[in-house]
Structure 1
Amino acid sequence: MYEQNGTPEGTAAQQQDAIDVNDFVFAATGARVRRVTLPDGEHWFPAVDVAMRLGYANTRQALLWHVAPDCAKRLSEIAQGVYAVDTSRKLAAHRLQKSMRMVNLRGLIALVNGCTKPECAPFKAWVAEVIATIQRDGSYSLDPAPVQPAAAGGTAYVMPKQVADAIVRLEERNIRADELLAAAQAERIEQMRRGNDLLGINNDLLGVRNDLLGAGNDLLGVGNDLLAESVRVQHSVADALNRIADGIDRLADRLRPASADAEKPAMTPQQLLSSWRARNLVVTDDVHAVAAYLAPALLRGAARYRVEQIADRTGLSRDRVHDCVRMLIKRGCMRQAGSGTDGTPVYVLP
């Protein structure tokens, strides 16, 4: 047994098909089908290959409907007694298994006749012509080829025109299919190239974006550092101004004439409060409480207290303390001489 176009064994080497079986099957199915040839010259084809090429959806059903039982057998049945180590290697190389269903040439033609694909029409027309010729003339014969092979033992015949036309059309179709496939592959390669180019550009843009983000983070860090340094400088300046103000106050006290201090007799906080009461400047207990808290500092030169501090020491609400301070200023007991660097009001005697 030999497979595909392998070298025949024994006497099978002298056998020759009237028409090359590969061309015959190609014209019938439109494809190159795997083939197993027995030593007696009988050809068998994988049923799944033939059914798939002819468009059958179910190989088993196609064999049951169209092929006679003696034209479809398993590979193990048709190859009994002819297996050899070399043959097994050939079958394995073409992915042929002993359990596969095979059809002979008659079974293949039966499947072609049952096929409805337009590609099978030329071959079926030739088969019909053969049958009609046999019915009319009693026989059908092929014309010998003008040029015979040099080797003796066989005769070459001219391929029927219908079969030759079918092969030509199939070859042209395959050529067009190959050209379309090549064009599609070229287009796919070009699209992949463009995609890779776009991917490269995108990666470059991502790199630039990451660089910009890094630069932005660096600038943000520098800005935070500058802000912290600015706050530190402001605090330093404020402290320096406070120290300068305190130094100026101490210098002013030293430079104040002694006669001025003599003209102003020393006064105690109680005397100051008594003078305010005598002039009816302190009219309520709340106002008196606030005045009593401010009096010692006023006599020392200036009272620097926030409303919250006075409220905590007197037990009055902040709003009430604010009203009492306004009353003392309105009645001329004291006046506001500005605010400290931290916003604390400064009150002095008028």
Structure 2
Amino acid sequence: MNEPSKQPDSAAESFERTGAIDINDFVYAASGERVRRLTMPNGSHWFPAVDVCNSLGYTTPRKALLDHVPEDHRDNLETVTGSHGLSIPAGRSWRRDLQLIDLQGLILLVNACTKPACAPFKQWVAEVIEAVQKEGHYTLAEAEVQPAEPGAPIAYAMPEQVAEAIVRLEAHNLQTDEELAGGQRESIALQKEMLTTQQDTLAVQQATLSVQQATLAVQRAMVRAMERIADRFDTLVLERRTPRVALTALPTTESVLADWRQRLSVTEDVWTVAVVIAPVLVESGELREPLEAIAARTGLSVHRVNECLRLLRKHACIRSRGGAENGAPVYVLHQA
């Protein structure tokens, strides 16, 4: 960072000055996390507010922004990228309405944070402000080793507090990674033991299943043999004790109607009802239709349908078998 009273002479000089400290290291020292970042063509940096708030321990990002970051230093992703003619980055995490904050907004959130890891960075910010108040400017010390290329920008040394914060954070992260790796190794070992136990259990279950399948096969074979013996025994008993009779063919609609024609001389109404109910009696074995349904199918009145059914019962064409749950009468074929 250079004297605030001086303005950069060109875009290249502006980029050189704003890049005096690597922005990734700067944000890492401030927030303690590697935060996602968008850099605009003019060199300004924008960060997802939710990333910064999570790294700093804010439970409600929206409230943290309203309390600590003015509107000038926050905006949504679509507006920020659109103002520079850029498209929205790919990926579901980059939503159009994603709230972004600029570098000043990030620093404001860090200054308002009570996280102990932010203390070195805030101390450095305080020193910068004090230096500007006393001397009118704050200048970074130049690094001991400068780039050898002609025209290369000057390399600046990182402030001591920022460097120490980064070292502590990296050491903490390294320790955390080692602890996590140790826990993962223990978890993998435990998973291997569980897998071995599961494999042994599966082998026992498979052996048990094989025995059960063999036993079941034997039982099925015994059942089939007993069924064949029983069938043969029943056949022999029937052949000896039951006189041979001719098998009666199953009734059909045509045979039922033909039988009814021989039994009675009916009117056209009765025959209309007979033609409707005969197929139902043959296929279903019984008739459970309400009188209203039969009347609708025949075009007769309910009273006339009832009289036709009574006539069919009288001449032993059908017989009653009580009533259905809905109150409809139940009829079956009258077989001798």
Normalising by structure 1, we get a TM-score of: 0.54
In structure 2, the residue matched to 1:159 is 158
Q: Does residue 136 of the first structure (1) align with residue 126 of the second (2)? A: no
Q: Does residue 110 of the first structure (1) align with residue 108 of the second (2)? A: yes
For the residue of structure 2 that corresponds to 1:92, the secondary structure is coil
For the residue of structure 2 that corresponds to 1:148, the secondary structure is coil
Q: Distance in 2 between matches of 1:134 and 1:198?
A: 68
Q: CA 1:166–1:112 in 2, change beyond 3 Å: closer, same or farther? A: same
What is the CA-CA distance between 1:107 and the residue it aligns to?
Answer: 0.5
Q: Which one of 88, 96, 99 corresponds to residue 97 of structure 2?
A: 99
In structure 2, the residue matched to 1:19 is 21
1:12 touches 1:41 (CA, 8 Å); kept in 2? no
Q: Which stretch shows the higher mean deviation, 183-192 or 38-47?
A: 183-192
In structure 1, the residue matched to 2:179 is 180
Mapping 1:47-62, distance limit 5 Å: 47-62=49-64
In structure 2, the residue matched to 1:74 is 76
Q: CA 1:216–1:35 in 2, change beyond 3 Å: closer, same or farther? A: closer
What is the CA-CA distance between 1:137 and the residue it aligns to?
Answer: 3.0
For 1:15, the aligned partner's letter is F
Q: Deviations over 1:319-343 (max 9, x none)?
A: xxxxxxxxxxxxxxxxxxxxxxxxx
Q: Distance in 2 between matches of 1:217 and 1:100?
A: 64
For the residue of structure 2 that corresponds to 1:132, the secondary structure is helix
What is the CA-CA distance between 1:13 and the residue it aligns to?
Answer: 9.8
For the residue of structure 2 that corresponds to 1:186, the secondary structure is helix
What's the % identity of the aligned pairs? 44
Q: Does residue 200 of the first structure (1) align with residue 202 of the second (2)? A: no
Q: Which stretch shows the higher mean deviation, 205-214 or 128-137?
A: 205-214
Give the aligned length.
211
Q: Distance in 2 between matches of 1:67 and 1:107?
A: 5
What is the CA-CA distance between 1:127 and the residue it aligns to?
Answer: 1.1
1:35 touches 1:44 (CA, 8 Å); kept in 2? yes
In structure 2, the residue matched to 1:120 is 118
Mapping 1:256-267, distance limit 5 Å: none
Q: Distance in 2 between matches of 1:162 and 1:71?
A: 25
Q: Distance in 2 between matches of 1:67 and 1:101?
A: 12
Q: Distance in 2 between matches of 1:64 and 1:220?
A: 78
Q: Distance in 2 between matches of 1:14 and 1:94?
A: 33
Structure 2: which 5+ runs fail to align? 1-9, 221-336
Q: CA 1:79–1:220 in 2, change beyond 3 Å: closer, same or farther? A: closer
For 1:63, the aligned partner's letter is L
What is the CA-CA distance between 1:60 and the residue it aligns to?
Answer: 0.9
Mapping 1:1-350, distance limit 5 Å: 15-16=15-16, 17-84=19-86, 88=87, 91-93=89-91, 95-149=93-147, 150=149, 152=151, 154-210=153-209
Q: CA 1:13–1:160 in 2, change beyond 3 Å: closer, same or farther? A: closer
Q: Distance in 2 between matches of 1:93 and 1:45?
A: 16
In structure 2, the residue matched to 1:276 is none
Q: CA 1:193–1:151 in 2, change beyond 3 Å: closer, same or farther? A: farther
Q: Distance in 2 between matches of 1:103 and 1:192?
A: 44
RMSD of aligned alpha carbons: 3.1
Q: CA 1:213–1:78 in 2, change beyond 3 Å: closer, same or farther? A: closer
What is the CA-CA distance between 1:122 and the residue it aligns to?
Answer: 1.2
Q: Deviations over 1:252-301 (max 9, x none)?
A: xxxxxxxxxxxxxxxxxxxxxxxxxxxxxxxxxxxxxxxxxxxxxxxxxx
For the residue of structure 2 that corresponds to 1:78, the secondary structure is helix
Q: CA 1:76–1:205 in 2, change beyond 3 Å: closer, same or farther? A: closer
Q: CA 1:20–1:182 in 2, change beyond 3 Å: closer, same or farther? A: same
Q: Distance in 2 between matches of 1:98 and 1:216?
A: 66
What is the CA-CA distance between 1:215 and the residue it aligns to?
Answer: 8.5
For 2:15, the aligned partner's letter is Q
Q: CA 1:210–1:98 in 2, change beyond 3 Å: closer, same or farther? A: closer
For the residue of structure 1 that corresponds to 2:100, the secondary structure is strand
Q: CA 1:13–1:202 in 2, change beyond 3 Å: closer, same or farther? A: farther
What is the CA-CA distance between 1:82 and the residue it aligns to?
Answer: 2.3
Q: Of the two, which has the highest radius of gyration? A: 1
What is the CA-CA distance between 1:218 and the residue it aligns to?
Answer: 10
What is the CA-CA distance between 1:11 and the residue it aligns to?
Answer: 5.5
Q: CA 1:216–1:40 in 2, change beyond 3 Å: closer, same or farther? A: closer
Q: Distance in 1 between matches of 2:79 and 2:209?
A: 71
For the residue of structure 1 that corresponds to 2:181, the secondary structure is helix
In structure 2, the residue matched to 1:289 is none
For the residue of structure 2 that corresponds to 1:79, the secondary structure is helix
